[in-house]
Chain A
């Protein structure tokens, strides 16, 4: 119970009168001081009784828009408060929310009207995943002379639970970084990337983990806790075989079923799974053998133009390989004498390759992999492949994972023996290749 400014004025006046009574030995001052203090005492007792009655009559009902939500996705909360408020009291209710939850527009406190029943709603944005429990409400009561803040966290005022699921890397739209987020992005990989919670600052905490916005709001230093890399799910990569190669149906089935199991397991364990599928064939490489070239050229121009989508050329690791491909196409042009349509199409491909080659300085696929893995959402990289055909992209992928210090495990489904697997492992830059049974 704290005095309001009116009560503070009376307390100061009484204290001055007490001092004056002692100094001047005057009973008049003492009488005034004692009267004022008695008045405050009577009002304090009355305030206590009124507060007790009000809290006793209070009931809280909370309704959630949904019981499961995702990190960063607002959830509407509707809260109904019912109580009997004396006419000379003012009551405010505010939600007691965990530090890692932010009400939208920062509002989660409401005044209760004199009628005593009110329903209000607000949007809640959870920042970390896990079970979010509404621990109760904070009731602020005040009258003319006193105010009190009571935290009601008994089971009658708490609940229900809101399950917050993590947002998988490929799940949501990546928003442009704002000023505050840039700070978060600078956190080292070993500390993790996703905020798992907040806590008070203790000695020897790194000052760069202090969340200044929350600290200002709660008037104490609050530091962010990041989930370490070991808590994060693995990035599961499926390398689908080239359609040009010979496909072993049984091995392919094993590969797919294993990937399904791993994705399900990751989802059960972490609530999210990150799956990347490397698909498609090296279009540029097979175009020269295509009979209906016009259709292919139209498709490439529309959907996979090399100048617009360089990633379509990821299977071509270096510029030299493009040059080699360009020469092959040129040879085909010279050999083609009868079919003018095909010859024109090959000329078109040659022109495209000659335009792509100068700007193809760095393997684009490598940069894309590096950019993805640097985000730090993954504990390790698991690659599932049949290891058929061109494996240059696998080398780039493993190299990128090594660059960001992520362990890469390659799982293989096929008919290679131990020696061949060893050679492939050395070629790709991994220690071993695990066989999918």
Chain B
């Protein structure tokens, strides 16, 4: 996995965003073309016009939200693919995780996002998926809290 260069991940991410957009355009009622152009432009402007290298990834993440929302509102799986693409662009950028293999972060993320997509797709209403996501977040927070406590205790 470490032999795969980060540029490959970047390329896959960019392509997946394109796939998401094309998928949405092929649906029965796609959003107006100019809206898609605007949100794509916003995303790439967020990537280009960043204040500092440190803030670049956060701004990219936030700038990608309108794109994901628009695509997912039209077709859920297009939104899922686009979201994976945005995360890929953020993680494979040099500023975010220079000391870490980005694939180790990216692949679990893709897995979680697809699982979420499956849960949403299988549900009639949003109450249960919201509870699952919120519960999962709280559970993970608790788990991290315990692990941190043990880490701190080990050196006291």
A68, CB-defined interface residue at 8 Å: no
Question: Which of A13, A32, A45, A151 interacts with B72 by CB under 8 Å?
Answer: A32
Q: Is the beta-carbon distance between A150 and B58 smaller than 8 angstroms?
A: no
Tell me the interface secondary structure of chain A in the complex: helix
Q: A151-B152, A151-B156 are in contact. Are A18 and B65 (CB under 8 A)?
A: no
Contacts of A144 in B (CB 8 A): 54, 57-58, 96
Question: Which of B65, B109, B112, B126 interacts with A26 by CB under 8 Å?
Answer: B126
B40, CB-defined interface residue at 8 Å: no
Contacts of A21 in B (CB 8 A): 126, 129-130
A177, CB-defined interface residue at 8 Å: no
What size tier do the contact residues of chain A reach? Answer: 35 or more
A153, CB-defined interface residue at 8 Å: yes
Q: Is the beta-carbon distance between A150 and B133 smaller than 8 angstroms?
A: no
Q: Is the beta-carbon distance between A1 and B68 smaller than 8 angstroms?
A: no
CB distance from B135 to the nearest CB of A (A): 11
Q: A22-B127, A25-B125 are in contact. Are A154 and B155 (CB under 8 A)?
A: yes
Q: How far is the CA of A31 from the CA of B120 in the complex (A)?
A: 8
B148 (CB) vs chain A CBs: closest residue: A1
Contacts of A42 in B (CB 8 A): 105, 108-109, 112
- Residues 137-150 of B, flagged 1 when their CB comes within 8 A of A and 0 if not, give 10010001101100
A36, CB-defined interface residue at 8 Å: yes
Q: A37-B133, A153-B156 are in contact. Are A27 and B76 (CB under 8 A)?
A: yes
Question: Which of A6, A30, A88, A148 interacts with B133 by CB under 8 Å?
Answer: A30
Q: Which of B9-17, B43-51, B79-87 is the interface stretch?
A: B79-87
Contacts of B130 in A (CB 8 A): 18, 21-22, 30
Q: Is the beta-carbon distance between A9 and B133 smaller than 8 angstroms?
A: no
Q: Which of A48-56, A267-275, A327-335, A401-409 is the interface stretch?
A: A48-56
Contacts of A29 in B (CB 8 A): 69
Q: How far is the CA of A437 from the CA of B71 in the complex (A)?
A: 104
A341, CB-defined interface residue at 8 Å: no
Q: A18-B133, A38-B112, A46-B105 are in contact. Are A31 and B68 (CB under 8 A)?
A: yes
Contacts of A46 in B (CB 8 A): 97, 100, 104-105
Known contacts A22-B126, A152-B156, A157-B155, then 7 further A-B pairs from the complex at CB < 8 Å, ordered by chain A residue: A1-B148, A9-B58, A13-B65, A26-B73, A32-B65, A55-B155, A86-B100
Chain B residues in contact with chain A, CB under 8 A? 54-55, 57-58, 61-62, 65, 68-73, 76, 79-80, 83, 87, 96-100, 104-105, 108-109, 112-113, 116-117, 120-121, 125-127, 129-130, 133-134, 136-137, 140, 144-145, 147-148, 151-152, 155-156
Chain A residues in contact with chain B, CB under 8 A? 1, 6, 9-10, 13-14, 18, 21-22, 25-39, 41-46, 48, 50-52, 55, 86-89, 144, 148, 150-154, 157
